[in-house]
Amino acid sequence: MGLIVQKFGGTSVGSVEKIRNVAVCVKEETERGNNVVVVVSAMGKSTDTLVNLAKEISAQPNKREMDMLLTTGEQVTIALLSMAINQQGLEAVSFTGWQAGITTEPIHGNARISNINTTAIERQLTAGKVVIVAGFQGVTEDGEITTLGRGGSDTTAVALAAALDADKCDIYTDVTGVFTTDPRYVKSARKLLSVSYDEMLELANLGAGVLHPRAVEFAKNYQVRVEVRSSIEKIEGTVIEEEAAMEQNLVVRGVAFEDEITKVTVLGLANSLTSLATIFTTLAQNQINVDIIIQSTTEGGTANLSFSIQTLELLETLKVLEDNKTELGYDQIDAENKLAKVSIVGSGMISNPGVAAKMFAVLAENQIQIKMVSTSEIKVSAVVEEKNMLKAVEALHEAFELANN
């Protein structure tokens, strides 16, 4: 008898009828002779509804209380799904994140899982029950309820699969797998049969919303076999594993994109050995994620530093920099909004020089100005104006021959 972890996102459990369909899917897995642990998100847009309620109370709600509020969404789903599975003639039991033994670091709103005590889950599996676990949540060692950030249910599912030594983790979603780019925006996008952990990690970090980056990290670190598949169509999805089968010898496997990017420039920064360390340590201590970084030296001996962040973090970033202006020693700050990041990803790029040059040429041919650039062995990212984002994605998708034949 094997062990399968299944994860169903908000759209897959968005109504009572959809929850019943999930219960049927769970039953079919048990009929194949497997024990099943199910991780679920909050129903449909219920998390957004809770966030909006909080904003009616306060423009900047307390992060601890936001975690208390948002974790109720998943509790609704686990109870309803447990009831639906019981109606299928199976025994099911629902657990919140803390009942499931998921311990996190003491950070509200974006905590990382630090440990999972699987005793309670294993006890119920041994008793022949299906275990339903609320995704996206955990508890600190001091008993404080935390959330894992948006998309955290993916992380919960893969982390549980690793802790339980599951045979597989199936991520059920509203698409049939991982595509060369988002098929909602580029109609010629096609599904990939398999993707390597490294490629998927880059795609997830660069804006591909099909799987959360931390989930891919867990899968890679613990060698969890993951399949992204449709919760509606009973077809094979995309397998994420260590070595993906090369399809048509594609150098570039996917094009990812992300809007609402802001470029922050710190002008007149002291050009000392410790300047960069000081500024980025300060930002990191305030949980601000910095992406692309560019530094230049002026004729006056000072430095100008540019970096990209998500636009939603702009106000907090500016506040942190202003509060620490004396220590950081800069003259002024500029911010450029309405930007986007477009990236190409593929493990074949390591042994194929000229990929970046081709990307830049394609963007130039389409009159798309590049604001910032970042590269790694298997990806190239360019920050462009937000209005040109989809134009860039479509041009790159076609140029690297990723479209459906």
Locate the domains of the chain by residue range: 3-174
Q: How confident is the model at residue 272 (pLDDT cuts 50, 70, 90)?
A: confident
Q: How confident is the model at residue 275 (pLDDT cuts 50, 70, 90)?
A: confident
Q: Which two tokens stand for residue 356?
A: 């970046």
pLDDT > 70? residue 75: yes
Average pLDDT, the chain: 93
Q: What is the mean pLDDT of residues 38-47?
A: 95
pLDDT > 70? residue 247: no
Q: DSSP labels for 78-137?
A: HHHHHHHHHHTT--EEEE-TTTTTEEE-S-SSS--EEEE--HHHHHHHHTT-EEEEETTE
Angle at 74 between CA 175 and CA 21, to 5 degrees: 50
- Which of 52-56, 117-121, 259-263, 277-281 shows the lowest per-residue confidence on average (mean pLDDT)? 277-281
Torsion from C-alpha of 274, 276, 278, 282, nearest 10 degrees: -170
Per-residue pLDDT reduced to its tens digit, 376-403: 999 999 999 999 999 999 999 999 999 8
Torsion from C-alpha of 374, 379, 383, 389, nearest 10 degrees: 180
The residue ranking higher by pLDDT, 329 or 27, is 27
Per-residue pLDDT reduced to its tens digit, 170-207: 999 888 999 999 998 999 999 999 999 999 999 998 87
Q: Which two tokens stand for residue 31?
A: 């009929």
Q: Which two tokens stand for residue 126?
A: 């041994």
Q: What is the pLDDT of residue 301?
A: 80
As a whole-number percent, the residues of the chain with pLDDT over 70 amount to: 98
Q: What is the mean pLDDT of residues 303-322?
A: 94
Cβ-based burial of 167 (10 A; exposed 0-12, middle 13-18, buried ≥19): middle
Q: How confident is the model at residue 323 (pLDDT cuts 50, 70, 90)?
A: very high
- Which of 65-79, 153-167, 314-328 shows the lowest per-residue confidence on average (mean pLDDT)? 314-328
pLDDT > 80? residue 326: yes
Q: Which two tokens stand for residue 374?
A: 């970042």
Q: Does domain 3-174 have CATH number 1.10.10.10?
A: no
Q: What is the pLDDT of residue 245?
A: 63
Per-residue pLDDT reduced to its tens digit, 90-147: 999 999 999 999 999 999 999 999 999 999 999 999 999 999 999 999 999 999 999 9
Q: What is the mean pLDDT of residues 27-43?
A: 97
> What is the value of pTM for the model shown?
0.84
Nearest-angstrom CA–CA distance, 26 and 249: 36
As a whole-number percent, the residues of the chain with pLDDT over 90 amount to: 81
pLDDT > 70? residue 239: yes
Q: What is the mean pLDDT of residues 321-348?
A: 93
Q: What is the mean pLDDT of residues 207-218?
A: 87
